[in-house]
Structure 1
Amino acid sequence: MSCPALFNAWLHSGAEHLQLRASSSNPAIIPSRKAAYEKLVMQREAIVSLKQVIETGRTDMITDEIVMSAFALALHPPERRKGAAVRMRSAPLSNLQWLSRFTDIVISDEQVQGLRHLVNARGGFDKLEMPGLKQGLSTFNLLVASKSLTQPFWPLRSGLEAEAISKFLSSLQESPRENEYSFWSSLIFPESMAWEVQAVSLYTAMLHDYSKGLLPGLNTGYVLEIRNSIHYHVMSLPSILENPDILETSSLEYEACRLGLVVYSLLILFPVPLMTEPYPDLAQLLKNELVHVRVDPSPWMSNLDLLLWLLTMGGIAALGTDTRWWYIQQIQWVTAMLELHTWEHFKSTVASILWLDSPCDFEGLPLWEESCIIGA
C-alpha cells in the first residue's frame, strides 16, 4: 500500500474491530498487554504519518486515502463510554451497520473539525471517490450530529426521496391508515415537521411488524438507507435558536416537539446508549421548554396526551441525571389530570403518539412506577 497513514490506520481499525467482536460475544475477554501495545503502535504510526502530510500545507497531498485514514482513526478513538450499551434495550434492526459498536465512542471536537478540514482540502464532500468513503462519512456525520445536537454538516448519501420512503413504509402495513398525515397534523405537532413525524410513525410500525415475524423478506439494506434518511431529516429540523423565524409559521410548542422527536429517534431509529451524549443535554433543553407548563398549562390542555409523551421522552433522556426528578413530578401531575391509574392506561396514552414496546416499555415503566410513589 502506497499510503503509510492508511496502512497503519487500517491495521489499527482491524485490530480494534476484532477486539470488539470478541468482547461482544464475551465481555470478560480482556486484550493482552502485547495486543494493547501493538494497537497503540499502529495508532501512533497512523497519526504521525497523517501529521507529516498535513504539515506540508500542500492540498494536493490530501487524497481520499488521507481522508479515509483520519476517518478510520475517528471511528476507533482511545476512549469509549464503558458499560453504556449494556443499559440499552435496543429496538429491532437497530444494529444495522453494527451501529451499537460505534455510538458509545467519545468524539472530540478536534477530530470532527480535523476531518472536515481534510474533506474541504480534498475539494469538498462531492469530490470524494474512494469506494465506501462517502457512505461511511455520511453515517459518521449522523453520529456527530446526534451526539452534538446539531444539524448534519454533510449531505446525506442517499438516492431516496421523501415520497419514496413514505410509499415504501406505507406499503408494508396490512391496513394503512389513510388519514395518517391528517392524524398527525391534528395534533400539536407543527406542520413543518409533519413528514418527519409521519415517517417515524411508519418506521415504528414496520419495526413492530418485523419483531412479530410478519416481514420475513424485508430488504435490510434498503431499510438501512431509509433509517438513516429519516434520522437525517429529524436531525435537520432547525431549532428555534438556529431559525427564530420559524415561530412565525409554527406553534409555540415547536421546540418541545422537535426535542421530543429527537429523543425518540435516538431511542428507536438511530440508537445511542442512554446516559451518554446527548441525553443529559436533551433532557435539560426539553425541560427548559416545558418548565412553565404548570404555571400556564392552557397551550397544552387540548392535548395532554402529547404533553405526557413529551415528558416521558424527557424523563427517559434524563436517566442518571438530577433532571429526572422534575420529569417524574410532572408526569405524576399530568397522569392525575388524565386519571390514568394503571400502567396499561398510561402506556395506551403515550403509545397513541409514538411508542415501540421493546425499548420504550423497559424505560417507561420505571418512570410510571416512580411517579406513582410520589402520588401515593
Structure 2
Amino acid sequence: MPPRARRGRLSERRAAATSTGAGSDAKPSEVFHFVSVNPSSEFQKSENRSVIRSHASKYIWRQHRASRTDGNNPNSGTAKSVPSRKQLLIAPTSSYGAAKETPWPLLSDGTEGEEPVLTLAPPDEYNVSPSDDEDTVNSREIQPVGNEVDNNGEVSKFASNTQLAQSSMESAAVIYADERNTMPGPFNQLMAFIGEPANTFPSMLGGSSVSKLMRYAIFDLWPGLVLGAGNKKWTQEDVAQSWLPRSMSHPALFTAFLYGAAGHLQTRQRLESAVIAPQTREEKLEQIVCEAETIKQLNKMMLDPQKTALDEVILAVLCMAFNKTDYSKWTSDIDPAPKAPLRNLQWLQVYGGLSLNDQHVKGLLALIQTRGGLDQLKLPGLAETLSVSSIMLSTKYLAKPRLPFFPIFKDSISGKTPKWPNLSSHTCPMPIDIINPSLNIQPSPAPYRPNNSSNNAKGINTSSSTGTTSPGDIFARSNIPTALATVLRQIQNYSTVVNLHSQGLLPYLELAVIADRRNWVQYELLSLKSINELKEEIEVVGPSSPTSISQQPYNYKIYEPLRLTALIYSMLVIYPLPPAKRPFPRLCRMLKAALVAADIENITPDDSCSNYHCWAGAAEMLLWVTMLGTMAARNTPSEDWYVERCRDVMRFVGVRSWEQLKAVMITVMWMDCVCDMGGMAVWLEVGVGNWSDIESQHRRVGDGSGIPLAERDWLI
C-alpha cells in the first residue's frame, strides 16, 4: 500500500492555488483560497475565518471600485439599473459629492501610507453561524481599507475621496455656524443638514441608511436617553442642539452615533417582536461598517495627544462600549407575568438587552480618568449619560458603580429630588386631590402600639424617604444597620410612587424626575457594602471597641440576606432588566449562602426556640426574603432548596392563605402588578399543607410578646 500523501500547510496550499490555466477566465494575479469544512484544529478554524472574511472584504471593495468606474465611464450605457439592497446600504465613494480639496482640520497630519497606531482594541468577533460566514464582513478586514492596493499596484482613490468628503463636512459646519443663514432656527438647520448626510460625511453606508439611523437617533434614541442635564429637564430639541453639532465636526463621533443607532434599533425591534430573528446580512454589514469606520477615525484622533480625551472621543467610545449586539442566546419572552411600570425608562430594556464590549469599557474608564472625572466634562448631557451607563453596568455584574452618581437635578444627589412626592404611607390612604408632586406629603405616623399591631395591612406605616424612622417602622424593629434600613426605605418609597404614577394618580410627575430618583435609589443600593466588607471595618478597630460583629448593637446576621433580596426586588420593580439579562442564578447562589449563614436551616415549623435565633423580631422580613428568593430561583439548580425553606418559613410564621401571605409582603414592599403572579406560583408550589395538623401542635411565639404569629392582627 503506497504511503499516504502528507497534507501541505495552509500557506503552501494557498501558493499552489495561485496559478491558473491559460484558458481560465480568472485574472492572472487571482488567488483561489480553499478552506476545509471540517477543520481539525482551532488554528485551522481561525485561518478559515480569516480567509473567508478577507475574501468578503475584497469582494465589497471591488464592487465599490467597479461602481466608481461605471459612474465615470460615459460609454457605460444610458439606462440606469435599479439599485439592489446592498447598493442602498453601502454607498459608492462618488456619492460623497464634489468638494473643494481642503484638508480636514480635526484630523492628524499623518504621512500618506503611514500605518495608524492602534490605540483601541479591535471589535470582538460577531457571533454568526458557519453558514453565514461568507456573508459576514469582519471589521478587522475593513480597517485598513484606506490603504488598499489593487492588482496593478496602484493605490486606491479612497483616501482622496475621503479628504474631499471631510472638506465638505468642514464646509457644512461653517454653514451651520454662519448666523446669516436664512433658515429659521438652529433645530431646523440641523434637520435640513441631516437630510442627505451621505453627501457630507465620509461613510461607506448609503445615504438612505445614514439618514435612517441619524433620524432615529435624533427623534427617538437621544430624547428617550437624555431626559435632562444641568439641573433642568431637556426636550428633543435640547439634546439635538447639544450633540448633533459636535458630530458635524468630528467624523468619529458621527460614525459612532450611526453604530449606536443601528444596535439600538435592531435590539428594540427584537424586544417588541414575538420571535427573536437572527441578524440579517444587511444588519450585520451596517454595524460592522460603522464600527470599523469609528475605530479608524478614533485611532487617527488619538495620534494627537491633545485630542485623546476630548468629550467627543469619550462619547464615541461610550457608543462603542454599550451597543454590541449578540442575539445568539436570546429566547422569546413567553413569561405571562405583567411587566414593571416604566421598565423602558431611559431605554433600560434596550440597553439591558445589548451586550457590552469589555475592551471598549476599559478604554472608556481610562479616558474618563485621564480627563479628570465626570466633573471635568463640558459637553452637556455627557456626564449624566455616563453615570446612568455605569449604574446599568454595575447592575448587570452585581458590582459597585465605577463612576460617581451625576444627577440631572443637583439636589437628587442628597435624596431631595425636586417635585418628588414625599410619601410616608406605603398605601397612601389619602384623597387623590391632595396628591400634588409639588408638595411634600407627610401624613402623621400611626401611633405606636406594641405587639406589632401597627403593621396592619389596611394602614401600613413607613418612614419618609429621607431616612427618618417612626416607632412602628418595620426596618427599625428588625434592628438592621442604619445604612441598609435607609436604602430599603428609599426603595419602598420609590415603589409606592411609581405604583401611584402607573395608576394615573400622579399625572404631573415628570419622567425626568422619576428617572433621576430611580438612578439615585439604584446607585445607593449598589453602593451598599457586603457583609465581608463590614466585617473588615468592624473587626479592625481600636482596643476599646468590640472586636466581633456579633457584639455590635445591630443584627448583622440578617444584613446580607436583606441586601441581596433588595437587589432581586430592584431587578423586578425598580431597575427591571430584561429577563434574559438578570443575574438571578448568581444572586440566588449568593443569597443561599447568606441564608445558611443566618441559620435558615435551623428554622422549622415546630421550632420552640424562636426567640433565640437571629430572625427573632424580623419574621416579616424573613418571609419576604424567602418568598422573593424562591421567585428568583425559578429554573435554577437551587429552586428545590428555596421551595423547602419557603415552606418551613410559612409554617413557622403561620401563613394560612394567599391573602395573609400578600399582606405580609405589602408590609415590607411589594408591587401587585409585577409580583402577584410570581408570588401566587410560589404559593401554589410550596403547598403549606394541612393546617389542622399544625394547629394541634403548640403555638409558636414570635417576638417574645406572648402573641402567636398565626394570630397577629396583620394577618387577615
- Name the TM-score, length of structure 2 as normaliser: 0.49
**Alpha-carbon deviation of 1:75?**
2.1
Matched, 1:124 2:373: yes
CA distance in structure 1 between the partners assigned to 2:567 and 2:667 by the alignment: 18
Tell me how far apart the structure 1 counterparts of residues 672 and 502 of structure 2 sit (CA, whole Å). 10
Residues 244-278 of structure 1: CA deviation (Å, up to 9, x unaligned)? 22544642211111111121122111111335342
- Is residue 189 of structure 1 aligned with residue 189 of structure 2? no
Alignment match, 1:263:
568
Amino acid paired to 1:36? K
5+ unaligned residues in a row in structure 1: which ranges? none
Structure number with the higher helix fraction is 1
**Deviation readout 1:56-95 (Å, 9 max, x if unpaired):** 4836422111111111112211225523766474321232
Q: Are the aligned partners of 1:332 and 1:375 in contact in 2 as well (CA < 8 Å)?
A: no
The equivalent residue for 2:579 is: 274
User: Aligned to 2:331, what secondary structure does the other structure show?
Assistant: coil
Give yes or no for contact 2:651–2:688 (8 Å, CA) kept in 1: no
In structure 2, list runs of 5 or more residues that go unmatched.
Answer: 1-247, 431-442, 446-461, 464-468, 539-548, 604-609, 692-716
- 1:321-336 correspondence to structure 2 within 5 Å: 321-336=636-651
Paired residue secondary structure (2:290) = helix
Spell out the pairing of 1:162-201 with structure 2 (5 A cutoff). 162-165=414-417, 168-171=420-423, 173=428, 175=430, 176=443, 178=445, 180=463, 181-182=469-470, 183=473, 184-201=475-492
Q: Distance in 2 between matches of 1:196 and 1:42?
A: 42
**CA 1:231–1:335: 2 relative to 1, 3 Å:** same
1:1-376 to structure 2, matched below 5 A, reads: 1-28=248-275, 32-54=280-302, 56=303, 58=305, 60-80=307-327, 82-83=330-331, 87=335, 89-158=338-407, 159=410, 160-165=412-417, 168-171=420-423, 173=428, 175=430, 176=443, 178=445, 180=463, 181-182=469-470, 183=473, 184-244=475-535, 245=537, 247=549, 248=552, 250-252=554-556, 253-291=558-596, 292-295=599-602, 298-372=613-687
Shift in Å, 1:204: 1.4
Structure 2 SS opposite 1:294: helix
Q: Residues 59, 309 of structure 1: CA spacing in aligned structure 2 closer, same or farther, 3 A cutoff?
A: farther
Report if the CA contact (8 A) 1:309-1:353 is conserved.
Answer: yes
Q: Residue 241 of structure 1 aligns to a residue in which SS?
A: helix
Bigger shift: residues 208-217 or 62-71 = 208-217
Say which SS state the counterpart of residue 214 (structure 1) adopts.
coil
Separation in 2 of the partners of 1:215 and 1:272? 24
**138-147 vs 262-271, greater mean Cα deviation:** 262-271
Amino acid at match of 1:48: K
Whole-Å Cα distance in 2 between the matches of residues 294 and 285 of structure 1?
16
**What is the CA–CA distance in structure 1 between the aligned matches of 2:296 and 2:402, rounded to whole Å?**
27
Deviates more, 1:159-168 or 1:303-312: 159-168
Partners of 1:278 and 1:59 in 2: how far apart? 40
Q: Distance in 2 between matches of 1:138 and 1:375?
A: 52
Count of matched residue positions in the alignment of Structure 1 and Structure 2? 375
Helix, strand or coil at the partner of 1:102: helix
**229-238 or 120-129: which moved more?**
120-129
Question: Structure 2: which amino acid aligns with 1:206?
Answer: V
CA distance in 2, matches of 1:166, 1:362: 34
Inter-CA distance 74–27: structure 2 relative to 1 (3 Å threshold): farther
For structure 1, which segment, 203-212 or 81-90, has the greater mean C-alpha deviation from structure 2 after superposition? Answer: 81-90
Alpha-carbon separation, structure 2, partners of 1:32 and 1:358: 36
Q: State the 1:7 CA deviation.
A: 1.9
Equivalents in 2 of 1:166, 1:324: separation in Å? 42
Against the structure 1 CA distance between its residues 22 and 168, is the aligned structure 2 distance closer, same or farther, given a 3 Å change threshold?
closer
Separation in 1, partners of 2:313, 2:366: 12
Measure, in 2, the Cα distance between the counterparts of 1:216 and 1:375: 47
Q: Secondary structure at the match of 1:363?
A: helix
State the alpha-carbon separation in 2 of the partners of residues 275 and 201 from structure 1: 25
Q: Give secondary structure in 2 for the equivalent of 1:170.
A: coil
The C-alpha deviation readout for 1:317-345, integer Å capped at 9, x for no partner, is 22321012211110011111223232222
Show CA shifts across 1:198-254 (max 9, x none): 111111111222232212222221111111111111111111233322544642211
State the shift of 1:35 in Å.
Answer: 3.4
2-structure distance, mates of 1:51, 1:12: 16
SS in structure 1 of the partner of residue 530 of structure 2: coil
Note the alpha carbon deviations across 1:175-205, whole angstroms, 9 max, x for none. Answer: 5463622313122432222221111111111
Letter matched to residue 198 of structure 1: R
Residues 53 and 62 of structure 1 are in contact (CA less than 8 Å); yes or no, is this contact kept in structure 2?
no
Secondary structure of the 1:352 match is helix
Tell me, in whole angstroms, the C-alpha distance in 2 between the residues paired with 1:375 and 1:265.
34
- The TM-score normalised by the length of structure 1 is 0.89
Are the counterparts in 2 of residues 275 and 317 from structure 1 also a CA contact under 8 Å?
Answer: no
2:391, 2:601 → 1: CA distance?
35
State the distance in 1 between where 2:288 and 2:582 align: 26
Higher relative contact order (CA 8 A, sep 6+): 1
Shift of 1:108: 4.8
The change in CA–CA distance for 1:45 and 1:249 in structure 2 (over 3 A counts) is farther
Deviates more, 1:260-269 or 1:237-246: 237-246
Inter-partner Cα distance in structure 1 for 2:495 and 2:650: 24
1:138–1:157: 8 Å Cα contact kept in structure 2? yes
Give the CA deviation at 1:4: 3.0
- Bigger CA drift: 271-280 or 65-74? 271-280
Further displaced range: 161-170 or 234-243: 161-170
SS in 1 for 2:404: coil
